[in-house]
Structure formats: C-alpha cells, structure tokens
Amino acid sequence: MTRREFTFYIWTKYLRPILLICIILFCGNFLINNFRENSFNDILTIGTIIIIILSIYISFYFLGIFIDSLREKIVSKLPDSIKSLLRVLSNIIDFISPFIMGALIYYFWLKDKPIAIVLTLVILIQKISHFIKSKEGNESKLKQ
C-alpha cells in the first residue's frame, strides 16, 4: 500500500466520519441553543436553514454508509440467481426514481414551497456527489 492509498484509506474510514459527527454535534448544539434563546420567528434565519440542510445531508450520508454495509453483507450470502434479479430490480428503480422524485417535488411545491426547495437541494447535492464519485472511479480505471 502506497502512502497515498494509506492516507485515502485513513481519511475515508476514520477521519471523514469523525469530522462529520463533529459537524452534526456542533449543528445540533447551535440549533438547540438557537431554539432556547430566540423566539420561533427569529429562528428561521438563513444560517439556521443552511445548518438544517447540512444536518440532513450528513444524516443521509451516514444512513447511506450504513445501508451499503448491510447490503454488502446480505448480498454476499445470496445465490447468483437472486443477485441477478436484484440487479434488474435496481436498474428498474434507478429508471423510475427521477419520476417519483419529480412528482414529490411537484406535490410539495403545491403544498409548501420551502420543503420543495430543501428536497430539490438535497437531491441536487446527492446527484452531484454521485457524479463526482463516478468520475473519480472512471479516472482511477483509466490510470490502471
């Protein structure tokens, strides 16, 4: 293992989760103190909204890590026929999910515009991070 691989391994396995947990704790502390000291009308500031979005994103990040680890453990024990069926279902869900998310955003836009904006931002951030990860994966394949 080279120095770069070791540093990347330490960052992804240990340092990044610790950093994200610290961010969640500081955001939660800020929100709790903000709720205690201010009235409800003063709470909806831009900073608070940004921290709420950041907390939601980090929570989804950890939830994704947890689901990925469970999926790897479960799928590794399944027979090949079920694995191929799961791949087909995954492709169908990947195709349908933008339509479902679009319908959800439209529904929330009609009911409550801030929820639709937050949902759109979360989806956009997720798509950008997925695009960056896939691009990094393609670049590492080209180097090999």
Per-residue pLDDT tens over the stretch 50-62: 677 777 777 777 7
Over the chain, what is the mean pLDDT?
Answer: 76
Is 92 in the same domain as 140? Answer: yes
Most confident of 44-48, 91-95, 139-143: 91-95
| pLDDT at site 42 | 60
AA identity, residue 48: T
Read off the pLDDT of residues 74-107 as tens digits, 9 standing for 90 and up. 878 888 888 888 888 888 877 787 777 777 777 7
Domain assignment of residue 31, given as a range: 1-77
Tokens of 37: 């000291």
Number of structural domains (the chain) is: 2
Is 102 in the same domain as 66? Answer: no
End position of a domain, from candidates 44, 77, 110:
77
Is 44 in the same domain as 98? Answer: no
Q: Is residue 23 classed exposed, middle or buried when 0-12, 13-18 and 19+ CB atoms within 10 A define those classes? A: middle
Is 92 in the same domain as 142? Answer: yes
